[in-house]
Amino acid sequence: MSEQSPNESSSAATAASLTELPAVARNIHLMCKKCGVERYHVVVAHTTATSAKVECEVCKAKSTFKLAKKSATGSAAPKKRATKRNEPDFAAIWNDLKTQIGVEQVKPYNMKMKFALANAIEHPKFGVGFVTSATNEKIEVVFQEGGRALVHNRP
């Protein structure tokens, strides 16, 4: 007993997937107790924030549609900023690299230049950094505030 056309079903909301009430006058596919099958129901009115009065399109029986309650309770407060526990201590790494590499031969960063492992560079925004990895296109640089991938060797 499926007499609905594909066009009708695509325009109606599916009750299970709803997180908020469908707008008044919209269709929603629900079980009709009187018809004994799922029917399109027109939303007649919102009765509360989570329930609406709906009317079966076929038998015109009125019923109440309720949104499924969310089970997540108790965690209403927004999460505070995550502690940076898993993040490496870039300031300490930077200090180690500064000791190993030194800043006597720091080169101004420019994407057209080619840098190599253990170069000291000076970036206009991030300051002095040390190259910890270098390919033909990219360098990984540790700055005091964190690691960054930069392009280099651009013609």
Q: Give the pair of three-digit tokens for residue 41.
A: 């129901």
Q: Kindly write out the interface string for residues 71-110 of this chain, putting x where it contacts Zn ion by CB under 5 A and - elsewhere.
A: ----------------------------------------
Tokens found for residue 114: 């080619």
Per CB under 5 A, the list member of 56, 120, 131, 141 interacting with Zn ion is 56
Piece of 32-40, 100-108, 113-121, 141-149 that binds Zn ion (CB under 5 A) = 32-40
The sheet that has 27-31: what strands, in order across it? 13-14, 27-31, 38-46, 51-56, 62-66
Compute the least distance from the CB of residue 63 to Zn ion, in Å.
Answer: 9
List 12, 42, 44, 58, residue binding Zn ion (CB under 5 A): 58
Q: How many helices (H) and strands (E) does the chain have?
A: 2, 10
- What 136-141 contacts at long range (C-beta under 8 Å, 24+ apart), as own/partner pairs, is 139/115
In contact, 9 and 3? CB cutoff 8 Å: no
Q: Quote the least distance from Cβ 2 to Zn ion, whole Å.
A: 15
For Zn ion, the binding residues (CB under 5 A) are 32, 34-35, 39, 56, 58-59, 61
